[in-house]
Amino acid sequence: MTPDPNQRPLPSIPRSLAGRVILQIIPQLDAGGAERTTIDVAAALAEAGVRPLVASMGGRLVPELQAKGGVWIPFPTRTKNPIAMAINVFRLSKLIRDEGVDIVHARSRAPAWVALGAARRTGRPFVTTYHGTYNGQSAIKIHYNSVMARGDAVIANSEFTASRIVVLHPFAQDRVRVIQRGTDLRRFSAATVTPERVRRLREEWGVEPDERIVLLPGRLTGWKGQRVLIEAARLLFAKGVHDVRFIMVGDDQGRTGYVDDLRSRIAAAGLDGIVRIAGHCADMPAGCLAASVVTVPSTEPEAFGRVAVEAQAIGTPVVVSDLGAVGETVLAPPQVEAADRTGWRIPADDPGALADGIEWALSLGASAKDALARRARAHVEAHFSLERMTGETLDVYAALIERRDTL
């Protein structure tokens, strides 16, 4: 029988995981790297015959989780009230016992403190994934953040993140395992995105057929660099680049004041209709393919950089701030020769440099763009596949269960 090329291979499942129950806990299942990884791991567990539970407040991704075999358990995971968190330790402990949970995996700080207490009360292995840079230098803040390094296994989503853990929480050094985020390379493939999906998005964004798109995906918050893009757009428009529309997609997560500030800056720069805030994008593969350039102009370090990986998988040129884990996700000089680049890395918080990077990417001829796309796709396939991430995560679970069973 000929294998189906569109069928994702099952992860290799260690025998110690067969019939087990894994609980992941996260505040909410909305858009974001931690949320996406939660669903990807739950899907891999379900395919492998493991019962995947996810405790969260809910969110727009719950239907997708359930469609992929995950079991959503409503739980007040977002609370940071100390009394409510103490009560939640007892509630989660009961849930763990009632559901026969074998491993508890926390992906955010407040629920991680609850999960740590419940795991210790019930004698279950505790896993954390260190997804962010977790700013804060005070002793209190560092202690609060340290829960993400208190797992029996601590998964770092990049080498950059692992280095931060070792510096900030040296007690965890021997328990850190780097597992870089994985991308669904079948979903993020130019060959699987229909022209109709691209056309529909362009219409939603109000982009004419003869206009090019520079896309900034990311939640609407200051450090994601939306203000930098607005100024870069002004510089490019002043240079005569008039056929480009700058689209910012992402949730504001209640930051209405920040969105109002962005709109004021767009108007003050005379860029109404040129720079647009488009809200949540439910079809990021089509969004990346619709764009001529995808940019991630973050002003603070990215712990991983999922957007840049997804865009490279599609084959769209990327221009990113040279901070954090970007050296792992986007190859560029001086790290590699110019002929081997997979994108452009530019100084952070520098609108002029961002404008130059976008202009370089927009100026690529067809042959140069195709060659860049092939290199970028090969880089992503080699390092950031979904199968690699889920397989390595299942290996972590298996090792913990085997260790517990031998005690």
What tokens does 94 get? 């009961």
The pLDDT value recorded for residue 135 is 75
Output the pLDDT for position 13: 59
User: Do the domain assignments include residue 278?
Assistant: yes
Note whether 290 and 390 are same-domain residues: no
136 lies in some domain: yes
Judge if 195 and 260 occupy the same domain. Answer: yes
Same domain membership, residue 264 and residue 141: no
Residues 392 and 343 reside in one and the same domain: no
Please check whether residues 172 and 239 belong to one and the same domain. Answer: no
pLDDT tens digits, 156-195: 999 999 999 999 999 999 999 999 999 999 999 999 999 9
Q: Are residues 232 and 152 in the same domain?
A: no
Same domain for 348 and 204? yes
Provide the CA 217 distance to its chain's centre, in angstroms.
11
Domain match, 239 and 257 both? yes
Same structural domain, 341 and 214:
yes
Question: Given pLDDT bands bounded at 50, 70 and 90, which one contains residue 251?
Answer: confident
> What percent of the chain is modeled with pLDDT above 70?
96
- What pLDDT is stored for residue 41 in this prediction? 97
Please tell me the distance from the alpha carbon of residue 261 to that of residue 168, in angstroms, as a whole number.
Answer: 34
Asked if residue 7 belongs to a domain, the reply is no
Q: Tell me if 2 is assigned to some domain.
A: no
215 and 351 assigned to the same domain? yes
Q: Calculate the alpha carbon distances from 112 to 128, 180, 371 in Å.
A: 8, 20, 44
> Residue 247 falls within a domain, yes or no?
yes
The label of the residue with tokens 């493991």 reads: 50
CATH number, domain at 206? 3.40.50.2000
User: Which tokens belong to 130?
Assistant: 């260190």
Split into its structural domains, the chain has a count of 2
Sign of CA dihedral 67, 69, 73, 78: negative
40 is a domain residue? yes
User: Model confidence over 369-388: pLDDT tens digits?
Assistant: 999 999 999 999 999 999 99
What residue numbers bound the domain in which 79 lies? 16-182+385-406
Q: Is the pLDDT of residue 240 over 60?
A: yes
What percent of the chain is modeled with pLDDT above 90?
86
Same domain, residue pair 106 and 176: yes
The whole-angstrom distance between residue 198's C-alpha and the CA centroid of its chain comes to 22
Residues 240 and 356 in one domain: yes
Residue 171 resides in a domain: yes
- For 123: left if phi > 0, alpha if psi spans -120 to 50, otherwise beta; the answer is left
Structure tokens, 305? 């950089």
Inside any domain, residue 235:
yes
Residue 6 has pLDDT above 50, yes or no: no
Residue 2 confidence (pLDDT) above 60: no
Give all strands (DSSP E) within 39-187, no chain letters.
51-56, 71-74, 103-106, 126-130, 153-156, 176-178
